[in-house]
Structure 1
Amino acid sequence: MEYRKVGKWGLKISELGFGTWLTFGPQLDVDRSKEIIREAFKNGINFFDTAEAYQGGMAEYILSQALKEFKREDLVVSTKIFWGGSGPNDLGLSRKHLIEGTENSLKRLQMKYVDLVYCHRPDPSVPMEEVVLAMDYIVRSGMALYWGTSEWSAQELEEAHRVCKEWKCVEPIVEQPQYNMLKRERVEKEYLPIYEKYGMGLTIWSPLNAGILTGKYNNGIPKGSRLDLFKDNGGLKGNIDEAGGLNEKTLERVKKLTKIADDLGVKTAQVALAWVLKNDHVSSAILGVSRVEQLQENIKSLEVKAKLTDDVMKKINSIFE
């Protein structure tokens, strides 16, 4: 396992992270979650990502139970604030919700601080000065060590850094976008000036595009698969549709990727994960797994990176232009 700096900053996180959005499953099984997280830590994963919105806050609580057996200093834990509830001040990036949401997340996580707290989405209804000053307060008060953003545009990141400089506030160090072979534009083009100018890192989510890039859906949706279990999850469907959707064109591309993986003697998912990690701007790729065996298979992608030579990368990129 390689430990990468988050952009130019001193924080080091495992190149594969552990996510909790759909990981804990519909049953929210604490014992099974502990088993998976124990295996993740044993294999060098030190970065664990959650959010106040995941399973209505239960993901944070389950994560807290699973991480109790480890030293806090050995962990990098992140949460995200935006969707906190149904009240008028439980949504968005107002100072009130950012501070109260972070405090509530810490209670569920049973931690004094998180290493990273993200603004889970941009909020055009709130002045950037209010967002920046609230995040500055959260960091300076010790509730979080660093802050970042998720799915913000390059323009919004520029504005945030401008305000930070003007108000002498702590600046965001990391962005968390969706990034995979089917969803490339923002990470590979839009953010290019941001990396160099501000030294921001990336903790990317959905590196397998909800499992589509594993090849498991090449011949339909298997019973018990993620798309079967979470078929009524509007957010999941929206993210898949945004990255091209589960259509004939996408499946033809994945079948070609599977042929490349077969030629290399590895799994399709391992090639997709290794491809993401070949991008130097990626600090960590967040995994979503529901079984120990699935986690072990994904971790083997670290060995596949060396197999992705320039020629192999050209073949892959010609499929997913």
Structure 2
Amino acid sequence: MEYRRLGRCGLKVSEVCLGTMTFGHGTEENEAARIVGTALDAGVIFFDTADGYSNGASEVMLGRALGARRHEAIIATKVFNPMGTGPNDSGMSRRHIMNAVEGSLRRLGTDYVDLYYIHHVDVQTPLEEMLRAFDDLVRHGKIRYTACSNYEAWRLMEALWTSDSKGLARFEAYQPQYSLVVRDIEEELVPVCGLKGLGMVVWSPLAGGYLSGKYRPGERAVAGSRSAENWAFPTRYFHPQHEAILAELVAVAVTLGRSPAQVALRWVLEQPQVASAIVGARTAEQLTDSLACTGWELPQATRERLDAVSALPRRYPRSMEDGMAARRDQAVRLTQPSRA
């Protein structure tokens, strides 16, 4: 297992982060304990949950599974989703943040969270209000680092500017969706994270199981999987040529003697700015297969094949400006007029 620095901060995380969204939704407590134990024994120290996962059950099950090994773990959780029926039981108001973190700490059985995310965009709460609440939680020792998920590039930049200009704790990580079939973040968000020193912790690197090896091009449901329960991969986000990408992934995996899941995860882990990839599992055996994405590298030719088949069309303004550096370098130097 490789351990990587999370952006510009001093925290190091395992390159594989165990996602626990299935805990309480397809994975019962005994199996959750097996999965967490398998992860820890393999060197995984990074665990991702959210208060809204199974209405808090995911946090409860993760906390119990870690038990006395809590000190080995980096725990990330999130705030935004409804945790009650009241008008202030969701969103990113100061009131909800302060209430939500206490609930997460209680369910997790810990007195601090290592990484606390804004889970979704809240257009009804000023950025400064939520950032000041996060800053207070850092100062009180209830959270160690702050982060956000699913922000557009402009909103992320505005949040970073607000934190820097007001002297508040600033985001150290960003959590986007990213996989071979969802590469949209490369246009704007990856450059922002590189410029500002944020570590990317990516979700759905297997595209909701689409790239796991269970499916073949044209298949939409497999017995015993989430797709059979209508809880499947979010195809509305996928590359228009996602079936061709899947076919190439399967072919590459056969050539390398690896599972499609291992190859898809390896591709993500070798991308710039990615500190860790969140890998979920319903069973310990599924996790064991995914963990074999560590300890090796894709051959360059293989990476180029996957890059090519999954590349997105260049969009304006980048499509117009791509060649401008070369144009500048090749410009003819005009002769200065002589002075009589």
**TM-score by structure 1 length?**
0.92
Q: 1:310 maps to what in 2?
A: 300
Q: CA separation in 2, counterparts of 1:88 and 1:256?
A: 48
Cα RMSD after superposing both structures: 1.6
Q: 2:159 maps to what in 1?
A: 160
Q: CA separation in 1, counterparts of 2:127 and 2:17?
A: 29
Q: CA separation in 2, counterparts of 1:40 and 1:128?
A: 36
> Where do 1:1-321 residues align within 5 Å?
1-26=1-26, 28-70=27-69, 72-85=70-83, 86-186=85-185, 188-218=186-216, 219-229=219-229, 231=230, 233=231, 239-244=234-239, 249-303=241-295, 305-306=296-297, 308-321=298-311
The question of whether the paired residues in 1 share the 8 Å contact of 2:118 and 2:147 is answered with yes
Kindly state the Cα deviation for residue 312 of structure 1 after the two structures are TM-superposed: 1.0
Kindly state the Cα deviation for residue 24 of structure 1 after the two structures are TM-superposed: 4.6
Q: CA separation in 1, counterparts of 2:191 and 2:215?
A: 36
Letter of the 1:311 partner, please give it: A
Seq. identity, % = 35
| Paired residue total | 308
Per the alignment, do residues 169 and 91 of structure 1 end up closer, same or farther by CA in structure 2, a change over 3 Å counting? same
Q: CA separation in 2, counterparts of 1:50 and 1:73?
A: 17
Segments of 5+ residues of structure 2 without an aligned counterpart are 312-340
Q: CA separation in 1, counterparts of 2:262 and 2:190?
A: 26
Per the alignment, do residues 3 and 24 of structure 1 end up closer, same or farther by CA in structure 2, a change over 3 Å counting? farther
Q: CA separation in 2, counterparts of 1:23 and 1:268?
A: 24
**TM-score by structure 2 length?**
0.87
Q: Rg bigger for which structure?
A: 2
The question of whether the paired residues in 1 share the 8 Å contact of 2:105 and 2:113 is answered with yes
Segments of 5+ residues of structure 1 without an aligned counterpart are none
Q: Deviations over 1:85-131 (max 9, x none)?
A: 23211111111111111111111111100100000012111111111
Q: 2:326 maps to what in 1?
A: none
Q: Deviations over 1:116-174 (max 9, x none)?
A: 00000121111111111111111111110001000111111111111112211111100
Q: CA separation in 1, counterparts of 2:96 and 2:251?
A: 48
